[in-house]
Amino acid sequence: MTVSDTASPVLFDRRDSGVAVVTLNRPERMNAWGGGLPGAFYRCIDRAEADPDVRVIVVTGNGRAFCAGADMGDLDAIGEASESAGDADVTQLVGERHPYFVTELRKPVIAAINGACAGMGLTQALMCDIRFAAAGAKFTTAFARRGLIAEYGISWILPRLVGWGAALDLLLTGRTFYAEEALELGLVKEVVVPEELLPRVLAYADDVARNCAPSALAVIKRQVYDDALRDMVATSAQAEKLMHESMQRPDFIEGITAFFEKRPPDFPPLKEDMP
């Protein structure tokens, strides 16, 4: 197990099971997106993606929030820059990457939403592949109530998760809703009492890390996001091609052998050229 500097705005912990835990660590600012957090987040995610011993990534927050959105102090600075220079440099606020970059990773990313999740924080959580939430956690898109638009891909991902009508309700009202409604909408997989959230998510992630082939996870994740833009015929044709490729890899033999031998599979790490 490796643990990063506890003073960092984002913490990194690699578990022996092959799960990396990335923790937003500005609890005094409710883990607001700013103040060095974006850059540290990207570095931790890149570290997990590049490490062959990491098979699943968990993202969570320290304190009473997952991420309460953009840091208002940073917004003030950008507002002042905009008035003097005529154009705001939004990269100061968002960072160098848009939230959808986590959908392009080869490894599954699971969000353990421990508390308030708003604005930019909600967009980032939605771009994770699977979400769990602590009971009573508050959610809001917030954008319309701040005079803003649906930011950084949330207008693409939210309707795909909860449906057209529910997405428009959440985006157009900017209302606060709770983890329990998020579960009903299909926005999160499970709602767990706060003190059991991380253990539950880690148990889920550990199971995936130990029993699922990294190569299969990488291809399946790519299929899901790419196929959202394809028709059914193209999707089926691409799946046939990918299935043939998967049957040429040693992971397939190991998966079948382990099944018949009634033992846990021993899949190799993800290779650089996969997929």
* Superfamily (CATH H level) for 2-209: 2-enoyl-CoA Hydratase; Chain A, domain 1 (3.90.226.10)
CA–CA distance, 99 with 83 (Å, rounded to integer): 27
Q: Is 154 within 8 Å of 126 (Cβ atoms)? A: yes
pTM higher than 0.95 = no
Domain map of the chain by residue range? 2-209, 212-261
Q: At what angle do helices 214-227 and 250-261 cross, to 10 degrees?
A: 110
Among 88-92, 151-155, 205-209, 224-228, which is the least confidently predicted range?
88-92
Residues 6+ away with beta carbon under 8 Å from 186: 161, 162, 163
47 burial (CB, 10 Å; 0-12 / 13-18 / 19+) is middle
Averaged pLDDT, 174-195 = 96
Cβ neighbours, 10 Å, residue 28: 10
Residue 191 bridge partners (DSSP): 133
> pLDDT confidence of 79, banded at 50, 70, 90?
very low
Residue 112: per-residue pLDDT = 98
Residue 273: per-residue pLDDT = 65
Cβ neighbours, 10 Å, residue 26: 24
In the chain, the percentage of residues whose pLDDT exceeds 70 is 84
Task: Answer with the residue of higher pLDDT: 234 or 190.
Answer: 190
With tokens 């040429």, the residue in question is: 248
Residue 227: per-residue pLDDT = 84
Task: Answer with the residue of higher pLDDT: 141 or 236.
Answer: 141
